[in-house]
Amino acid sequence: MNHVWDTLAADWPMILSKTGEHMYLSLISVLIAGFIAVPLGIFLTSHKRMANTIITVVSAIQTIPSLALFGFMIPLVGIGTTPAIIALTLYAVLPMLQNTYVGINGVQPSLLEAGTGMGMTKWQMMSMVQLPIARSVIMAGVRLVAVQTISLATIATYIAAGGLGDIITRGIAMINTVTIMEGAIPVSLLVISVNFILLLLNRALTPKGLRHLNKF
Amino acid sequence: MAEAVAVEFRNVSKDYGSGKVLRDFNLTVPKGQIVTIIGPSGCGKTTLLKMINRLEEPSEGKVLVEGRDIGSVDAVSLRRDIGYVIQQIGLFPHMTIEENIGIVPRLKGAGKGERREQVTKLLQLIGLSPEQYRKRYPHELSGGQQQRIGVARALASDPSIILMDEPFSALDPISRVQLQKELINLNQRLHKTIVFVTHDIDEALKIADRVILLSEGEVVQSSTPAELLAHPANEFVVEFLGPERFPKDLAPGTAHHIMIDGLSIDHQAPIEEALELLRANSAEALAVTGTWGELLGIVGIEEISQHLLHDSTLKVGAIVQSDTSSLLAHTPLSEVFEQIRNHRILPVVDDSNRLIGTVTRSSVIEALGRHLHREEHSA
């Protein structure tokens, strides 16, 4: 047991800095993906013919095995943080895009008719009606993506992007369970806490009039 | 000019590609009246309505609103000046009642204080307490209350024209009757031009100052309800309205003939609402219905007032008196007179115990009055 505590005490600063790198990788990727996916999803709801094509293309990216996608990045952008963020972002776009599209399309047509009939412009309809009503569906997509990205970011170590994956692979190389745990447990804790925080955030952001519909 | 014109259709055609819905159509809608548009489905009545606020554009011809050709007016600002009520109500679920009602003023740039004042006025107008309802959300209201808010929302920016597309047809029969009454009362005060599309002939005849009957994109008859019944333009009018509406003389011999509607309430409604309904009708008691319109019993004004002191959120169902007598539609009048002496209200039910109307002392007196009146005239 002492051996565990000693290792932990010695590795503590490293665990912290790797957790920091891991969070940075994940957060930046989710943010970039969000800035791409949500506006794109909004755009597609008024360009339905394009929607199918684009969602199919984005889904196709999702089918590439993650390890391979990180590998493909090397000849294109080399190794390090940038290719890792690009790969993570590519994975993160689809769920958010899909949820934005589905959420906005799911707004009852009668509300759109009422809004148009009262003289809302398209932009007002989006900001006053469609987005607020679709918000919890979009947020569910964000949550899914956040969890997925944090897990996936462990592989970024293979292209030298750092993160908690570094500790895990080192543990595997040394066949040292304690070291593997030092990388794995923080990943799990990150996933759990981020999921929880986003859940609370969504609850707080949901307008009172829609809370009774929330099953989460 | 004998009558001011609110809306005018000039040689309007509408072509959906699959065929013409309207062909060289002309119509004027007078100002300040409730005009109902009826006709078989597919006759173009909803299309007609939606042309007034440019949700539909005519393929040919012009639509004039208060003298202006709306083809040359910005559609968005036109719509903000015309009230619009739809069948599915369309209240925004994420907004409070206050925000819902205030939406058009907000679109037009009215400030918060001004909107608040306007909402207070409108809630009072439709008989809902502003303090109580302002901050509630649509899902906390019954269907009838929701559509009242829908009407209030359409009135919010004080438009002179209001379009209503089958606004009451998704409501339960009791709320429907209640809202029809309220609309008539409301417009006696407000004098808006209300263009009201419906497929419910009773409704059309009941609320209208003028009925426009359409068929295959043409006006068959445009007249007051009384005229329509007294002088139907042709056989189609009689067929469409139903020959039974052109009565010979019905012998008023059973409960069915003297019963009235409106004096009933759903068991889920709060007792306050029951009290409002009683006051509005100056009645003493109401029939209470269950989820499927079945009769559960009655509530009287004393019980309601008693309970209201303790708990204003109580549901009508909690204080219903189920040991009450009821009548069938074919109960003879002699028996009705016998029974009404001991009851404040007598619900009339059909064979499966569903409420179809009520008899009260005042409805009996009214029926007697009508009867005597008829006797005098035929004598």
Which residues in chain A are closer than 8 Å to B137, comparing Cβ atoms? 208-209
Residue A216: pLDDT above 50? no
Q: What is the DSSP string of A109-142?
A: HHHHHHHHHTT--HHHIIIIIIHHHHHHHHHHHH
Which residues in chain B are closer than 8 Å to A138, comparing Cβ atoms? none
- What is the C-alpha to C-alpha distance for residues B152 and B213, in angstroms, rounded to an integer? 27
Residue A188: pLDDT above 80? yes
The CATH-assigned architecture of domain B255-371 is Roll (3.10)
Element (H, E) at A63: helix A48-63
| pLDDT value for A30 | 97
Nearest to A117 among B77, B84, B139 (CB): B84
State how far residue B223 is from chain A, nearest Cα, in angstroms: 28
The domain tally of chain A equals 1
The CATH number for A167's domain is: 1.10.3720.10
What percent of chain B shows pLDDT beyond 90?
Answer: 49
- According to CATH, what is the number of the domain B5-245? 3.40.50.300
* A123 touches B at CB < 8 Å: no
Helices (H), B16-89: 45-52, 75-80
pLDDT digits (tens, 9 = 90+) for A146-161: 999 999 999 999 999 9
Quickly count: other Cβ atoms within 10 Å of residue A211's Cβ: 13
**Can you point out the beta strands (E) in chain B?**
5-15, 20-30, 34-38, 60-65, 68-69, 82-86, 161-165, 193-197, 210-215, 218-223, 264-266, 285-289, 295-300, 327-328, 345-349, 355-360
> What type of residue sits at position A121?
T
Residue B131: pLDDT above 60? yes
If you count DSSP H runs as helices and E runs as strands, how many of each does chain B have, helices first?
Answer: 16, 16
Q: Is A80 part of any domain?
A: yes
Size of chain B in residues: 379
Q: How confident is the model at residue B377 (pLDDT cuts 50, 70, 90)?
A: low
pLDDT digits (tens, 9 = 90+) for A8-66: 888 899 999 999 999 999 999 999 999 999 999 999 999 999 999 999 999 998 899 98
If you count DSSP H runs as helices and E runs as strands, how many of each does chain A have, helices first?
Answer: 10, 0
| Dihedral (Cα; B368, B373, B376, B379), 10-degree rounding | -90
Range name among A163-167, B8-12, B131-135, B336-340 with the lowest pLDDT average = B336-340
Nearest to B76 among A113, A121, A133 (CB): A121
Which residues in chain B are closer than 8 Å to A209, comparing Cβ atoms? 93-96, 137-139
- State whether A207 and B95 contact (CB < 8 Å): yes
Q: How confident is the model at residue B250 (pLDDT cuts 50, 70, 90)?
A: very low
| pLDDT value for B3 | 64
Domain map (residue ranges) of chain B: 5-245, 255-371
* A106 touches B at CB < 8 Å: no
Q: Is A84 part of any domain?
A: yes
Residue B249: pLDDT above 50? no
pLDDT digits (tens, 9 = 90+) for A93-119: 999 999 999 999 999 999 999 999 999
Asked whether the beta carbons of A17 and A183 are under 8 A apart, the reply is no
Counted across chains A and B, CB pairs separated by less than 8 A come out at: 72
| pLDDT value for B19 | 75
Residue B248: pLDDT above 70? no
| pLDDT value for B247 | 58
Angle between helices A81-105 and A48-63 (to 10 degrees): 140
| pLDDT value for A203 | 87
Q: How confident is the model at residue B263 (pLDDT cuts 50, 70, 90)?
A: confident
Segment B182-195 shows an average pLDDT of 92
- State whether A118 and B153 contact (CB < 8 Å): yes
Q: How confident is the model at residue B251 (pLDDT cuts 50, 70, 90)?
A: very low
- What is the C-alpha to C-alpha distance for residues A155 and B161, in angstroms, rounded to an integer? 64
* Higher-scoring residue by pLDDT: B85, B270: B85
- State whether A209 and B163 contact (CB < 8 Å): no
| pLDDT value for B357 | 87
Dihedral (CA of B245, B295, B313, B136) sign: negative
Give the structural domain span for A115: 20-204
Segment B68-90 shows an average pLDDT of 94
| pLDDT value for A142 | 95
> What type of residue sits at position B160?
S
Q: Is A144 part of any domain?
A: yes
* A214 touches B at CB < 8 Å: no
Q: Is A57 part of any domain?
A: yes
Judged by DSSP in three states, B13 sits in: strand
- What is the C-alpha to C-alpha distance for residues A94 and B202, in angstroms, rounded to an integer? 53
- State whether B90 and A119 contact (CB < 8 Å): no
- State whether B88 and A110 contact (CB < 8 Å): yes
pLDDT digits (tens, 9 = 90+) for B146-171: 999 999 999 998 999 999 999 999 89
| pLDDT value for A190 | 96
Q: Is A115 part of any domain?
A: yes
The residue with tokens 């090397």 is A74
| pLDDT value for B154 | 96
- State whether B90 and A113 contact (CB < 8 Å): yes
Written as six digits, the tokens of B136 are 């509630």
Q: Is A216 part of any domain?
A: no
Q: Is A11 part of any domain?
A: no
| pLDDT value for B275 | 87
For residue A129, what is the nearest residue in chain B, using CA coordinates? Answer: B92
* A113 touches B at CB < 8 Å: yes
| pLDDT value for B335 | 82
Q: How confident is the model at residue B1 (pLDDT cuts 50, 70, 90)?
A: very low
| pLDDT value for A4 | 84
